[in-house]
Amino acid sequence: MAQFSVVSVLAVRLMKPVFDGIDPRYEKIARTLGQSEFKSFVNVTLPLAKNGVFGAAVLAWARAMGEFGATVTLAGATRFKTETLSIAMFLNLSIADLDSAMAIILILLVLTVLVLFVSRKIVYRGDMTS
């Protein structure tokens, strides 16, 4: 819940300019062609905003992966109970278990590179089909 409260603000701030940049005439045209307000949003606006929404989701996920302050403040840092990867890294460093801390850092690094690689492939594949 702590991560969601921090990340949702970031996601909304990132998506607002994306949706503001879409001309509302497209939705109005879809409405004149018989689509409901919800269907015109789903069939017209969301496809136009898909890259921005995807980018916001990736950045929000990355922020959630590294979130430390809100989780510690709201849930605490209890091993095997409220432990996230960043809290596990902190707990291992606090007891000078450098091997475990380095393993967690490598997991985060590999996960980050993998997500960046996959997101690049998805975005470029989507641009080629357009």
Kindly list the domain boundaries of the chain, sorted by start residue: 2-129
pLDDT, residue 127, reads 58
Assign domain 2-129 one CATH number from 1.10.357.10, 1.10.3720.10, 3.30.1310.10, 2.40.50.140. 1.10.3720.10
pLDDT, residue 126, reads 59
What number of residues does the chain have? 130
CA proximity to 65, closest of 89, 43, 49? 89
pLDDT, residue 65, reads 77
pLDDT, residue 128, reads 52
**Is the model's pLDDT at 118 over the cut of 90?**
no
pLDDT, residue 29, reads 92
Find where tokens 């403040």 sit.
73
Tokens of 74: 């709201």
Tokens of 19: 């949706």
* Interval 75-103: pLDDT, tens: 777 777 777 788 888 888 888 888 988 99
Q: If you ran DSSP here, which 8-state letter would residue 129 be given?
A: H
Of residues 129 and 42, more confidently modeled: 42
**DSSP alpha helices (H): ranges in 21-84?**
25-32, 37-40, 46-66, 69-75
- Across the chain, how many H-helices and E-strands are there? 7, 0
* Interval 36-81: pLDDT, tens: 999 999 999 999 998 889 888 888 888 887 777 777 777 777 777 7
- b/e burial code for range 43-76 (CB count within 10 A of at least 16 → b): ebbeebbeebbeebebebebebbebbebbbeebe
Find where tokens 């503001």 sit.
20
